[in-house]
């Protein structure tokens, strides 16, 4: 479990943050497609915080709720209050290539892949919570 | 020496490899800009992805950028991508604009 692990909000530390997260989720998720998807989602959220929040630090929580076979991520920062979930994603995956916006892909990916996203601002921090519930053979959770 | 672009010409070749996360993707984008500057020479752009372990939206944006700048007459290929890499391309819908092959067939 990662509990509120702090990193300086710097682009060059993104690989280190992602390694910390993937080392953690690797304990629970055995499906390579979902391991990769969760890493992608984490990156998209982290890079938005790093690039746009103005926060010096980013705080990462990742926990597996065994009874619910659920992975819960929480990304917090001390930047400008901002709810990314209010951003209307302009990604139209059926649009022609020349009409495809090259922005908005990140939020599109994590809101599509995750089962549930929540935002709240509390105690001077933005908190973005991402929930992925595993069922059946979609991914094999192992928290013996 | 370029890290990704292997060859610029009628058939231009780019080798995607390792982890292309947002901290790395600007290097790929810069190399693609150099390639696009010679777009009049290019008929096909081939992204070899056999050694690509990971890509997120920042890397995919570079591929979209290249496809948009080169225009409809240049065919863009994605070769040998793993299932996990291809999964991310498919989620964005970008795979539809690429010729996806296991090995480059021309």
Chain A positions touching B72 (Cβ under 8 A) are: 98
Residue A135 above 80 pLDDT?
no
Q: Say whether A109 and B57 touch across the interface (CB within 8 A).
A: yes
Shortest CA distance from A36: residue in chain B: B84
B23 Cα to chain A: minimum distance (Å): 6
Q: Is A68 inside any structural domain? A: yes
Chain B positions touching A30 (Cβ under 8 A) are: none
The H-assigned helical ranges of A3-113 are 14-25, 32-48, 105-113
Question: Is some CB atom of chain B closer than 8 A to the CB atom of A54?
Answer: no
Q: Which domain holds residue A50?
A: 2-133
Question: Is some CB atom of chain B closer than 8 A to the CB atom of A102?
Answer: yes
Quote the CA–CA distance of A22 and A137 in Å, as a whole number. Answer: 20
Torsion angle in degrees (nearest 10) through CA of A20, A23, A25, A28:
-150
Q: Is A141 inside any structural domain? A: no
Q: Say whether B56 and A106 touch across the interface (CB within 8 A).
A: yes
B57 Cα to chain A: minimum distance (Å): 6
DSSP state of A54: -
Could you give the number of structural domains in chain A?
1
Quote the ipTM score: 0.89
Q: Domain of A52: which CATH number?
A: 3.30.565.10
Q: Say whether B61 and A102 touch across the interface (CB within 8 A).
A: yes
How many residues comprise chain A? 144
Write out pLDDT tens, residues B55-95.
Answer: 999 999 999 999 999 999 999 999 999 999 999 999 998 99
Of B21, B54, B91, the CB nearest to A112: B91
Q: Is A52 inside any structural domain? A: yes
A3 Cα to chain B: minimum distance (Å): 24
Domain boundaries, chain B: 5-101
Neighbours of A51 (CB within 10 A): 11
User: What CATH number has the domain spanning B5-101?
Assistant: 3.30.750.24
Of B56, B83, B85, the CB nearest to A43: B56
Quote the CA–CA distance of A10 and A49 in Å, as a whole number. Answer: 9
Beta strands in chain A (DSSP E): 2-8, 57-65, 70-77, 116-122, 125-133
Neighbours of A128 (CB within 10 A): 22
Neighbours of B67 (CB within 10 A): 20
Q: Is A15 inside any structural domain? A: yes
Write out pLDDT tens, residues A23-41.
Answer: 999 998 888 999 999 999 9
Q: Is A74 inside any structural domain? A: yes
Write out pLDDT tens, residues A38-89.
Answer: 999 999 999 999 999 999 999 999 999 988 889 999 999 999 999 999 876 6
Across A91-100, A107-116, B37-46, least confident range? A91-100
Structure tokens at A46: 């982290």
Question: Is some CB atom of chain B closer than 8 A to the CB atom of A30?
Answer: no
Q: Say whether B64 and A97 touch across the interface (CB within 8 A).
A: yes
């Amino acid at each position: 479990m990662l509990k509120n692990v702090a990193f300086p909000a710097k682009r060059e530390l993104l690989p280190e943050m992602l390694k910390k997260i993937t080392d953690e989720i690797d304990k629970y998720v055995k499906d390579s497609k979902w391991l990769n998807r969760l890493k992608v989602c984490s990156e998209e959220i982290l890079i938005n915080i790093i690039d746009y929040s103005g926060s010096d630090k980013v705080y990462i929580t990742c926990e597996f709720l065994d009874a619910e076979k659920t992975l819960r991520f929480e990304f917090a920062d001390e930047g400008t209050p901002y709810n990314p979930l209010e951003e209307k994603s302009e990604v139209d995956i059926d649009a022609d290539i020349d009409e495809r916006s090259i922005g908005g892909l990140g939020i599109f990916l994590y809101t599509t892949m995750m089962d549930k996203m929540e935002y709240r601002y509390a105690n001077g921090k933005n908190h973005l919570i991402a929930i992925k519930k595993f069922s059946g053979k979609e991914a094999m959770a192992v928290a013996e | 020496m370029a890290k990704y672009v292997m060859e610029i010409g009628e058939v231009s070749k780019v080798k995607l490899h390792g982890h292309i996360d947002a901290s790395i993707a600007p290097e790929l984008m810069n190399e693609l800009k150099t390639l696009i500057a010679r777009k009049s020479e290019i008929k096909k752009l081939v992204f070899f992805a056999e050694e690509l372990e990971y890509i997120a939206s920042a890397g995919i944006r570079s591929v979209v950028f290249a496809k948009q700048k080169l225009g409809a007459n240049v065919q863009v290929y994605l070769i040998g991508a793993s299932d996990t890499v291809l999964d991310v391309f498919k989620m964005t819908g970008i795979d539809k604009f690429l010729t996806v092959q296991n090995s480059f067939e021309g």
